[in-house]
Amino acid sequence: MLLSKKRLAHIVFESDDRASKAFDLVLLLLIFGSIIVAILDSVAELHLKYGRIFLVLELAFTLLFTLEYVLRVWLTSKTLKYVISFYGIVDLLAILPVYLSFFIANTHLLSVVRALRLLRVIRILKLGRYLAEAEFLRESLKASAAKIQIFLFMVLTIVLIMGTLMFVVEGPEHGFTSIPVGMYWAIVTLTTVGFGDITPVTALGQLMASLIMLMGYAIIAVPTGIVTSEMARRRKSESLEDLKSCTFCGFDRLDRGDRYCRNCGEKRVNSPD
């Protein structure tokens, strides 16, 4: 069957009728499929056993993704904008390496390029669009973003100072080989992850580590406090929905208990008394 370009564009970019919904669904399945193949192929045993099958599947997925990419580039009204957009680049990175890998002899470079194709997992972010419910969380986080940024800035300051001090106190011989490594350790510790790959050995180092740990213990409360109070605020504003409106001036922010409209001063019909 033949489709007008306009119709095609609608199917590809919208999702409001059967055809476009189907297109989205198929795309989702393809993304999932390619990710699962990539995951399985990364397991040595499976790669040895089914490497060939995975390769075929991967090429198939790549062809389909290429088709999608070409379609998008061809159909979109603002081609450039899409190509240089985040998803545009991700979509390209998901297919380009596979083609490049054919023209590369150097085995090391080849492995790098082949690794790059795994970046297609990032396309899973496209699913986000289909989760309306995720809004609440995203907004809560966005609303708190400013505060969280400052918080992270504070954390990084502590990390910088502590990382440097530990580098000075413990030194390379105890694994704190440089300030960046010290900062890495400080983050591992402050976030209470505590891998234990690098640990203070000297008494002074352990004392300072204890301080930073207690600090982390005390300030881990801050982001929680921010997000929680933010969410509580949202809930309240939502609960404002049972507001009444004035039958005269239509002012719509009256509480149940109001006896006179606080906007026009008219006595409210079915007012408490």
Interacting residue with a second copy among 14, 87, 204, 228 (CB under 8 A)? 228
The nearer residue to a second copy, 79 or 192, going by C-beta atoms, is 192
Instruction: Please report, as a single letter, which amino acid is at residue 61.
Output: F
Query: Can residue 225 be called a binding residue for a second copy (CB under 8 A)?
Result: yes
The nearer residue to a second copy, 75 or 181, going by C-beta atoms, is 181
Minimum distance of a second copy from residue 241's CB (angstroms): 14
Query: Can residue 67 be called a binding residue for a second copy (CB under 8 A)?
Result: no
The nearer residue to a second copy, 8 or 147, going by C-beta atoms, is 147
Interacting residue with a second copy among 235, 241, 242, 269 (CB under 8 A)? 235
Contact region for a second copy (CB under 8 A) — 23-31, 77-85, 98-106, 115-123?
A: 115-123
Interacting residue with a second copy among 5, 6, 108, 256 (CB under 8 A)? 256
Structure tokens at 129: 């669009």
11 burial level (CB within 10 Å; 0-12, 13-18, 19+): buried
Contact region for a second copy (CB under 8 A) — 18-26, 55-63, 91-99, 193-201?
A: 193-201
Q: How far apart are CA 239 and CA 252, in angstroms?
A: 15
CA 87 → CA 14, 25, 34, distances in Å?
Answer: 16, 18, 17
The nearer residue to a second copy, 7 or 259, going by C-beta atoms, is 259
Q: How far apart are CA 198 and CA 177, in angstroms?
A: 10
> How far apart are the two ends of the chain, measured CA to CA in Å?
70
Q: Helix, strand, or coil here: 254? A: strand
Contact region for a second copy (CB under 8 A) — 5-13, 23-31, 99-107, 158-166?
A: 158-166
The nearer residue to a second copy, 197 or 241, going by C-beta atoms, is 197
Query: Can residue 26 be called a binding residue for a second copy (CB under 8 A)?
Result: no
Query: Can residue 194 be called a binding residue for a second copy (CB under 8 A)?
Result: yes
Sign of the Cα torsion 226, 231, 232, 236 reads positive
Q: Helix, strand, or coil here: 244? A: strand
Q: How far apart are CA 215 and CA 204, in angstroms?
A: 17
- Specify the residue for token string 């106190």: 169
Query: Can residue 157 be called a binding residue for a second copy (CB under 8 A)?
Result: yes
CA 11 → CA 32, 86, 90, 247, 253, distances in Å?
Answer: 20, 21, 21, 46, 43
Interacting residue with a second copy among 104, 122, 174, 202 (CB under 8 A)? 122
Residues 195-214 that bind a second copy (CB under 8 A): 195-197, 199, 203, 206-207, 209-210, 213-214
Q: Judge contact between 220 and 231, C-beta under 8 A.
A: no
Query: Can residue 87 be called a binding residue for a second copy (CB under 8 A)?
Result: no
Minimum distance of a second copy from residue 60's CB (angstroms): 20
